[in-house]
């Protein structure tokens, strides 16, 4: 089972090299039927179905497949909604490709296993990862 975003964030913060500051693990690039869209939206009808139809009170994937998305005009099942997952990080200094790879090595298997991409967030310092030539410090 895939760990929650909070669990993944905690693990990645512990393991990733100090070149990177982990901000979060979040879902992004939401799509509906493969086109840019929105996350599956829960509405009162889902709560009602969970309580009535299944008598569980639990919102599981079965409810979200049979009771369409509550986003205005959508009404499609959960399976028509997809997204990517990103590890959002900030660079803590300028670096080289080699150094960046070394800092990512402890988390690479985890990122591959859970199909998580990396998104680098710009900082005011505008740190960069450059080719493996000498890094100039400012
Ligand atoms: Zn929808």
First to last CA, the chain: 45
Distance from residue 30's CA to the centre of ligand 1 (Å): 10
Please state, in angstroms and rounded to a whole number, the distance separating the CA atoms of residues 16 and 92.
12
Ligand 1 centroid to Cα of residue 55, in Å, is 24
**Domain range annotation of the chain:** 1-38+80-138, 40-73
pLDDT recorded at residue 8:
92
> What are the pLDDT digits (tens) for 76-119?
999 999 999 999 999 999 999 999 999 999 999 999 999 999 99
CA of 79 from ligand 1 middle (Å) equals 10
pTM: 0.76
Rounded to the nearest angstrom, the distance between the alpha carbon of 33 and the centre of ligand 1 is 9
């Amino acid at each position: 089972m895939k760990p929650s975003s909070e669990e993944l964030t905690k693990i990645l913060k512990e393991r990733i090299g100090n070149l990177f500051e982990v901000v979060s693990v979040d879902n992004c690039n939401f799509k509906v039927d493969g086109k840019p869209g929105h996350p599956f939206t829960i509405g009162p009808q889902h709560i009602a179905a969970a309580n009535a139809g299944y008598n569980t009170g639990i919102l599981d994937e079965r409810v979200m497949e049979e009771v369409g998305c509550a986003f205005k005009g959508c009404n499609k099942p959960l399976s028509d909604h997809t997204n990517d997952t990103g590890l959002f990080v900030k660079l803590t200094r300028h670096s080289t490709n080699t150094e960046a790879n070394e800092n990512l090595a402890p988390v690479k298997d985890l990122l591959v296993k859970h199909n998580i991409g990396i998104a680098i967030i710009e900082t005011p310092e505008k740190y960069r990862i450059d080719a493996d030539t000498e890094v100039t410090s400012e």
